[in-house]
Structure 1
Amino acid sequence: MHIPQNITIKFDPILIHKRIPRSEQHNFRERLRYYIDFCKKYDFFESKKESLSQFIKKLQEKHQSSQQLKQAALAISLYYSIVRSYPEDNLLESENAQEKSQPSYRQKQTSPNFFSPRFHKAARNS
């Protein structure tokens, strides 16, 4: 899995603005990518802060260093700032929900986004 372009084009400037050294920016992107993968695999909402604690717990189980845990927490908090600033661009949950064929916790908790072109397309097709 990769980080969607609509997130990347906002995430990279934040790394620069927050003065994350160039040598560490790749690691921040990787942490975000791992987080997105984790949320998709374990059916968590990427934009909900409650998912971060579960992600950090998983990293601890994988014996990540405290520096790696701090880096992951910071990377995900930067991602949350994107979600807050650009809620219309957070398409991860709707994309993930459509990929699932069986009802899941995520799908049951997700309310329809009436402003999404996907909602109107799905309504037309049903």
Structure 2
Amino acid sequence: MIKIPKNVLEPFQDALANEHIPERQRPFYEMWLRFYLDFCDRNECPEGNASSVDLFVISLESRGKEAFQQR
């Protein structure tokens, strides 16, 4: 699985803190970010593009992931 680059991870962690995401839940957010970045890498789609996020969610749905996991 892809490693989150430091220049992405640090602002992401700051955003989680700013949104008051509990520390115990943050590793799960980071896991899903890794899944998304891996998906983009495998499918050659631009990271952060709204269409790539839509494609990622469709992929999750097709793999049987629950709505809360897609959210």
* TM norm structure 2: 0.92
Q: CA deviation at 1:24?
A: 1.4
Q: CA deviation at 1:45?
A: 0.3
Q: Which residue does the alignment assign to 1:18?
A: 19
Runs of 4+ in 1 over 2 A off after TM superposition: none
The question of 1:45 aligning with 2:19 is answered no
* TM norm structure 1: 0.53
Cα displacement string for residues 9-39 of structure 1 (whole angstroms, at most 9, x for unaligned residues): 1110110110112221111101111111000
Q: Which has more radius of gyration? A: 1
Cα displacement string for residues 73-98 of structure 1 (whole angstroms, at most 9, x for unaligned residues): xxxxxxxxxxxxxxxxxxxxxxxxxx
Unpaired segments ≥5 residues, structure 2: none
- Coordinate RMSD, CA, aligned: 0.9
Q: How many residues align?
A: 70
Cα displacement string for residues 46-98 of structure 1 (whole angstroms, at most 9, x for unaligned residues): 0211100100000111111111111xxxxxxxxxxxxxxxxxxxxxxxxxxxx
Unpaired segments ≥5 residues, structure 1: 71-126
Q: How does 1:1-126 map to 2 (within 5 A)?
A: 1-70=2-71
For residues 14 and 44 of structure 2, what CA distance do their matches in structure 1 show?
A: 28
For residues 21 and 69 of structure 1, what CA distance do their matches in structure 2 show?
A: 19
Aligned-residue identity in percent: 26
